[in-house]
A and B are shown apart, each in its own frame.
Chain A
Amino acid sequence: MIAQLKAELLKVRSTRTTVGLFAGMIGLTLLIVLLTGLLTHPDSLASKHDQRGLFAPGAVALIFSGIAGVLLITSEYRYGTIRPTFLFTPRRAKVLSAKLTAGLLTGLVFGAVSLGVAIGIGSLILSARGIPSTLSGHDFAVLVFGGLAGTALRGAFGVGLGAILRNQVGAVIALLAWDFVVNSLLFGLAPSVGRFMPTAAADALMGLKTAHLLSPATGGAVLLAWTAALALIGLMLTLRRDVT
């Protein structure tokens, strides 16, 4: 599978799509941190909860790594490169495992950069405005490692979703609708159910303390379960379906 993983990582790097997504994510992260950090009243940036929110514009990295994962597989169906891919590696489970791993790694990079930008710029703003940092080392550890695990899983989650739907536009829309509509509505209307949705689970994993969120460990387990379920269904369908 190492050979296939190398091929997947080259695919990710050799088009401008991922680079564009990456740049978009950094830009959006910066925008949110700057707006929140500079425009919010100092009193509303003082608590642990406020500062976690500032350092974890989580949704941005989670959305972008999810989309990157979706594109990793749907672009192959869209442009037909899935044919040479499967001709070179007819054991499709190998291809999909390589893609899931590439999704994890892409998500990890996205998460690392997004968190780096948010924590770096956010801390600068706080110190410039004379607002003392209230997060402990442990809080930061949960934020960083939870955030990285969350975006990595979301990359693989996107691959699984893409493997099931195959249609690129359809899969991206499904992902966004799931995050912004289903997740938000359920979490707002029935938080006891909504907190088990993937994005809410990823927020919990980063140690965010919004009301009704699960604990970081449970959130991580729930996100892992979602990702594994999508990957498994995607794998079964990929093995069974004809490539036309």
Chain B
Amino acid sequence: MTAVVAESLTKRFGDVLAVDNLSFTLEAGTITGFLGPNGAGKTTTLRMLLGLSAPTSGRSLVLGKPYAALNRPALSVGAVLEATDFHPGRSGRDHLRMLCRAVDLPDSRADEVLQTVELHTAGRRRVKGYSLGMRQRLGLAGALLGDPELLILDEPANGLDPEGVRWLRDFLRAFASTGRTVLVSSHALAEVAQTVDQVLIITHGSLVVESSLQELTSRVGGTVRIRTSKPDELKEALNRAHLDATSDQQTLLVHGANTDRVGEVAFAAGVPVLELVAEGSSLEEIFLELTSEPSS
């Protein structure tokens, strides 16, 4: 079953194409990281999925229907777009109670989700006294009110301390382990790398990668750092071996290769190797590499 379908979603603000012909499908039971640098069009896309903003063209389906056509959508889809969508003078519990009223849920549900996000002791305090982490959790509590099968979260890790990030990761894992679906956006891959099964990466409003996390890691070659006392000779040797290297004094960065290959080239060229490190296997670099390319 598919949980979310985007079909050629496009959003234009005047001359700016914020989202450009974006298509993807999310299967139920997966955790998908929706990644891209700030301003890539992630939030605009989520707003369109959730019926808050109308696409210039294209369409999207959430659990088989346009979001606005779902009957009481909060009972099947939980979403948080901003961590700060609260009236500062209203208590966290009252915020949840007013959402309960709108979909005929009992107030007891507000207390249950406060317990889930570990805010029950702060529920009756006004939101203005909440830390950013508490606000993030209150937002999540609101999304959980209707016991949804799909969660859509925009930058939920923003402003969380390391403990909060781990709490969120564990929570999302537990949520998805029951066969439910999560779409979580982030501008930092590291934040979600340990959580998600698959990634959608967009830059400048277009999809550049749609793959599983494993595929992504193996598909993009890493970078090897090598230090030598004869950098010029090594660079020539690497070039002859069709390897692309950039040098900074004694240190060379070789792109798209592994340490075995670079070590062999250095040995064949007879240059002394002082240091040889595989660097580019970090997802962060893959992400930066993919998203810093100019859109074509």
A: which residues have CB within 8 A of B?
A: 3-4, 6-7, 10-11, 14-17, 75, 79-81, 83-91, 242-244
> Is the CB–CB distance between B82 and A80 below 8 Å?
yes
Contact status of A90 and B85, CB under 8 A, knowing A7-B101, A14-B90, A14-B94: no
Contact of A81 among B53, B74, B87, B103 (CB under 8 A): B87
Q: How far is the CA of A6 from the CA of B99 in the complex (A)?
A: 10
Most buried by A among B82, B87, B94, B102: B102
Report the minimal beta-carbon distance from B170 to chain A, rounded to whole angstroms.
Answer: 24
Interface-forming stretch among B44-52, B172-180, B186-194, B270-278? B44-52
Chain B residues 47 to 96 lying within 8 A of chain A, measured CB to CB, are 47, 50-54, 67-68, 70, 73-74, 79, 81-82, 84-91, 94-95
B103 touches A11 (CB 8 A): no
Quick one: given A11-B98, A90-B67, A90-B68, are A81 and B85 in contact (CB under 8 Å)? yes
Residues A86 and B52 in contact, CB atoms below 8 Å apart: yes
User: B191-221, CB under 8 A of A: which get 1 and which 0?
Assistant: 0000000000000000000000000000000
Evaluate contact between B104 and A244: CB separation under 8 angstroms.
Answer: no
Chain B residue with the shortest CB-CB distance to A240: B54
Question: How many B residues have CB within 8 A of the partner chain?
Answer: 32
Could you give 29 example pairs across A and B, Cβ below 8 Å? A3-B101, A3-B104, A4-B102, A7-B98, A7-B99, A10-B98, A10-B101, A11-B98, A14-B91, A14-B94, A15-B90, A79-B84, A79-B86, A81-B85, A83-B52, A83-B82, A86-B51, A86-B52, A87-B50, A87-B52, A87-B74, A87-B79, A87-B81, A88-B73, A88-B74, A88-B99, A89-B102, A242-B54, A243-B53
* Least distance between A105 CB and chain B CB atoms (Å): 15
A242 cross-chain contacts in B, Cβ below 8 A: 47, 52-54
The complex places the Cα of A113 from the Cα of B73 at a distance, in Å, of 39
Residue of A nearest to B11 (CB): A242
With the chains together, A124 CA to B175 CA distance in Å?
65
Interface assignment of B123: CB less than 8 Å from any CB of chain A: no
Question: In the complex, A88→B103 CA distance in Å?
Answer: 7
A10, B95: Cα distance in complex, Å = 9
B73 with A90: CB separation less than 8 A: yes
Report the Cα distance A211→B170, complex, angstroms.
72
On B, residues with C-beta under 8 Å from A are 47, 50-54, 67-68, 70, 73-74, 79, 81-82, 84-91, 94-95, 97-99, 101-104, 142
Q: Whole-angstrom distance between the alpha carbons of A85 and B67 in the complex?
A: 14
**Smallest beta-carbon distance A7→chain B, Å:** 4
CA distance A90 to B73 in the complex (A): 8
Question: Known pairs A14-B87, A79-B86, A87-B79. 16 more at Cβ < 8 A?
Answer: A4-B102, A6-B102, A7-B99, A10-B97, A11-B98, A14-B97, A16-B89, A79-B84, A80-B85, A81-B86, A81-B87, A83-B85, A87-B81, A89-B103, A90-B70, A243-B53
> A242–B54 Cα gap in the complex (Å)?
6
CA–CA, A244 and B90, complex, Å? 22
Docked CA distance A186–B85 (Å): 41
Docked Cα-Cα span, A84 to B52, in Å, equals 10
Residues of B within 8 A of A17 (CB): 89
CA gap between A85 and B85 in the complex, in Å: 10
Docked Cα-Cα span, A80 to B82, in Å, equals 8
Contact call B73/A6, Cβ cutoff below 8 A: no
Closest 3 CB pairs of A and B: A80-B85, A242-B53, A7-B101
Decide: A84 near B99, CB < 8 A? Known: A17-B89, A244-B47. yes
- B87–A7 CB distance below 8 A: no
B41 to A: closest C-beta gap in Å: 13
Say whether B87 contacts A75, CB under 8 Å: yes
CB A6 to nearest CB in B, in angstroms, measures 4
Alpha-carbon separation in the docked complex, A83 to B79 (Å): 10
Q: Is A85 touching B53 in the complex (CB atoms < 8 A)? A: no
Please give, as numbers and ranges, the residues of chain B lying within 8 Å of A89 by CB-CB distance.
102-103
Q: Once bound together, how far apart are the Cα atoms of A15 and B126, in whole Å?
A: 9
Neighbour of B52 across the interface among A6, A7, A14, A243, CB < 8 A: A243
In whole angstroms, how far apart are the Cα atoms of A10 and B99 in the complex? 10
Note all chain A residues with C-beta closer than 8 A to B74.
Answer: 87-88
Which of A85, A88, A91 has the most C-beta atoms of chain B within 10 angstroms of its own C-beta?
A88
Complex-state Cα separation, A30 to B47, whole angstroms: 48
Contact flag A243-B47 (CB < 8 Å), given A87-B74, A89-B102: yes
Chain B residues with CB under 8 Å of A243's CB are 47, 52-53
Distance (Å) between the CB of A20 and the closest chain B CB?
A: 10
Partner of A3, one of B52, B79, B103: B103
Assembly CA distance A6 to B84 (angstroms): 23
